[in-house]
A = this chain, B = another copy of it.
């Protein structure tokens, strides 16, 4: 199939590579507003051509939107304005409520499948794109009932061929759950980084001492502001809710430590250990 990917960063670029690698796409073209990223995408072979949006959409059976989430809703409308009943449009964004509302009344809403492949790394841009992406992870599809069933089937088939497990949620559930299992992790990493950089003036000490524990906990702090601020803003109320609870529980821990209350510390840590049950490894 002929595919157009709009936004040739980590997600869009990796999707393009994976579609070619699995033989799903016969050709992939891109749309990319940033000239340096467009040039890099061509040089890295992520896409065969970078075209204006109109041209890219016109020739594509599948159009995938992989731009920051604040740009997705209006872009989705523009693309739906241009597609026929034989084309499929998907987005790959990390938030879903806003998007699903904006496209809800479009006459060709059925051609849109709202998806969130739960894969990413802390790196961004076309250089970060990798063919070894998506496999083994979940992809969430929202509001299947609003999409034409043949379009949903086709999109599910593509994601399954990439090695993903397809889940269904409504947009509200999706944004709530991702606040807990994805968005808050990025905030805790960003702030761990700023705290350590603020307090630990001897950067060499960090470099010399940081072992696997610190590296893995702070890894997500390398993630880009361009990707994540729109996600936090679009999912503001869920993110604030979990952030307030996180700060509350940190304060309970701090007070227990201040009072040498080892019994409470033990209860907290023993509770925290239960995460073993719900992690994959």
Contacts and interface: CB of A to CB of B under 8 A. Distances in A.
Contacts of A217: 185, 188-189, 216-217, 219-220
Interface string A222-261: 1111001100110010011111111101110110011010
Instruction: State the oligomeric state as a number of copies.
Output: 2
A272 interface: yes
A203 B277 contact: yes
Nearest to A195: B246
Given A189-B272, A236-B257, A246-B250, A182 B195 contact: no
A214 to B, nearest CB: 5
A213 B253 CA distance: 24
A190 to B, nearest CB: 4
A213 B186 contact: yes
A181 B200 contact: yes
A194 interface: yes
Contacts of A77: none
A262 to B, nearest CB: 5
A215 B138 CA distance: 14
Given A177-B205, A184-B192, 10 more contacts: A120-B212, A138-B209, A180-B205, A181-B196, A182-B213, A184-B196, A188-B188, A191-B250, A192-B246, A197-B275
17 contacts: A119-B211, A120-B213, A122-B213, A137-B211, A138-B209, A165-B208, A180-B200, A190-B268, A199-B242, A207-B278, A216-B220, A217-B220, A221-B275, A222-B275, A222-B276, A224-B269, A236-B257
